[in-house]
């Protein structure tokens, strides 16, 4: 038997792959306008990886050196039995192979699951929240209600989980709430990250360009009221951080449309059907479901993962700089997970 540790995953640009995002469902109880159409055609159940397959897949990546696992969707907490998966992953935290288990959620089910998540070793989560006004929340999520989300955030905090708020910057929608969001997060002790809207899904081009609020502009407005101190922190992720000197708050900016983070990209994504995307902004992918289902042995799966990582691209091709939305991806964010 070969007892040597397997070689870690290193891509052609010498970037070690340490971070895996797994989408556990394409379904959601919200229909955020920038993410989904109101009438969505979801995948048949047989196409989804089972909870056991998700466990095996994530565990294989962890065996290959992945240290950080983020669970996303769709809305991960609407997947039936998902706590079984979290419980399974907690064994890798206990063994020390996994350094962080986390999730991105819309918060609607958090009140119910916060304690269980904390018990599984989840210490930090991202909650998406674009507005603090109930009417506007209903408008942007189409089906969501603000109060249960706020309740969920409180439950998570009480359970000892650190909450980071993710806010998609939307022109004409939450521009006027910039300072109230910053203030609320400061008061509640949540970090805050703004995300530039990305051209995902087959939404109309006009709508996209209409909603686009450049984070350079958002940052400029923040700077009118606060002194911004650039932080060097780089988690290999797409966010850049500043500290507001007056309040000590950390604010993140995710600008996926610039290339400022591709060089240090250490992440890959798996969809709920087992497709491995080596880059959020490129269509190239590898099917991991077939090798998963073909054999109970992991050899073919590992080989498929290695072959895919060997073609991880240098970066993506999104570009808003021209009048049309170049590099637009036909798939929805809920497919690959944010």
Residues that bind ligand SF4 (CB under 6 A): 28, 30-32, 35-36, 73-75, 106, 128, 333-334
Residue range at the interface with ligand SAM (CB under 6 A); choices 193-201, 239-247, 257-265, 293-301 = 193-201
- How far CA 216 is from CA of 144, 182, 289, in Å, comes to 29, 16, 40
Question: What, of ligand SAM, ligand SF4, none, does residue 60 touch, CB below 5 to 8 Å by kind?
Answer: none
Among 152, 237, 238, 337, which residue interacts with ligand SAM (rule: CB under 6 A)?
Answer: 337
Rounded Cα gap, residues 291 and 302, in angstroms: 9
Residues 9-28 that bind ligand SAM (CB under 6 A): 28
Q: Which residue is nearest to ligand SAM (CB)?
A: 338
Residues from 107 through 126 that contact ligand SAM (CB under 6 A): none
Residue 278: name its binding partner from ligand SF4, ligand SAM, none (Cβ under 5 to 8 Å by kind): none
8-16, 100-108, 109-117, 216-224 -> range binding ligand SAM (CB under 6 A) = 100-108
State which residue, 206 or 297, has the beta carbon closest to ligand SAM: 206
Taken in order 101, 311, 319, 326, the sign of the CA dihedral is negative
Smallest distance, ligand SF4 to C-beta of residue 296, A: 32
Minimum distance, C-beta of residue 28 to ligand SF4, in the bound complex (Å): 3
Q: How is residue 87 annotated by DSSP? A: H
Rounded distance, CA 157 to CA 286, Å? 37
Cβ neighbours of residue 299 closer than 8 Å, sequence gap 6 or more = none
Size of interface with ligand SAM, in residues (CB under 6 A): 20
Q: Is the dihedral of CA 265, 272, 329, 36 positive or negative?
A: negative
Determine which residue in the list 105, 109, 258, 271 makes contact with ligand SAM, applying CB under 6 A: 105
Minimum distance from residue 128 beta carbon to ligand SAM (Å): 3
**Distance in Å, CB of 28 to ligand SAM, minimum:** 6
The item of ligand SAM, ligand SF4, none sharing an interface with residue 36, based on CB under 5 to 8 Å by kind, is ligand SF4
222: which residues sit within 8 A by CB, 6+ positions away? 178, 182, 228, 242, 244, 251
Separation of alpha carbons 122 and 162, rounded Å: 9
Using rule CB under 6 A, residue 338 touches ligand SAM: yes
End-to-end CA distance of the chain: 40
CB 304 within 8 A of CB 293: no
Rounded Cα distance, 131 and 242, in Å:
21
Strands 162-169 and 191-196, how do they pair? parallel
| 75 lines the binding site for ligand SAM (CB under 6 A) | yes
Q: Which residues bind ligand SAM (CB under 6 A)?
A: 28, 34-35, 72-73, 75, 104-106, 128, 166, 168, 195, 197-198, 200, 333-334, 337-338
């Amino acid at each position: 038997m070969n007892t040597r540790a397997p070689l870690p995953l290193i891509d052609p640009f010498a970037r070690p792959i340490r971070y895996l995002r797994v989408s556990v469902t394409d379904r959601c109880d919200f229909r955020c306008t920038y993410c989904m159409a109101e009438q969505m055609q979801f995948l048949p159940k047989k196409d989804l990886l089972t909870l056991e397959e998700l466990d095996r897949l994530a565990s294989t990546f962890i065996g290959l050196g992945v240290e950080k696992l983020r669970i996303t969707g769709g809305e991960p907490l609407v997947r039936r039995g998902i706590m079984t998966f979290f419980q399974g992953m907690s064994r890798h935290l206990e063994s020390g192979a996994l350094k962080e288990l986390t999730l991105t959620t819309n918060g609607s089910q958090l009140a119910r699951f916060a304690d269980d998540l904390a018990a599984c070793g989840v210490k930090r989560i991202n909650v998406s929240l674009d507005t603090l006004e109930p009417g506007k929340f209903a408008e942007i999520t189409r089906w969501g209600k603000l109060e249960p989300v706020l309740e969920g955030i409180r439950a998570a905090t009480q359970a000892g989980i650190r909450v980071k708020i993710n806010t998609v910057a939307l022109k004409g929608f939450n521009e006027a709430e910039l300072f109230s969001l910053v203030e609320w997060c400061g008061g509640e002790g949540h970090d805050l990250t703004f995300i530039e809207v990305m051209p995902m899904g087959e939404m109309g081009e006009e709508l996209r360009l209409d909603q686009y609020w450049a984070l350079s502009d958002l940052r400029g407005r923040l700077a009118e009221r606060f002194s911004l101190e650039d932080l060097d922190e780089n988690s290999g992720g797409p966010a850049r951080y500043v500290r507001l000197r007056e309040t000590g708050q950390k604010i993140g900016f995710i600008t996926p449309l610039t290339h400022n983070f591709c060089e240090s990209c250490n992440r890959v994504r798996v969809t709920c059907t087992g497709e491995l995307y080596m880059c959020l902004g490129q269509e190239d992918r590898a099917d991991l479901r077939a090798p998963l289902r073909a054999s109970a042995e992991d050899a073919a799966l590992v080989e498929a993962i290695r072959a895919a990582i060997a073609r991880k691209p240098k970066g993506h091709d999104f570009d808003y700089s021209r009048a049309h939305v170049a590099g637009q991806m036909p798939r929805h964010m809920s497919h690959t997970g944010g």
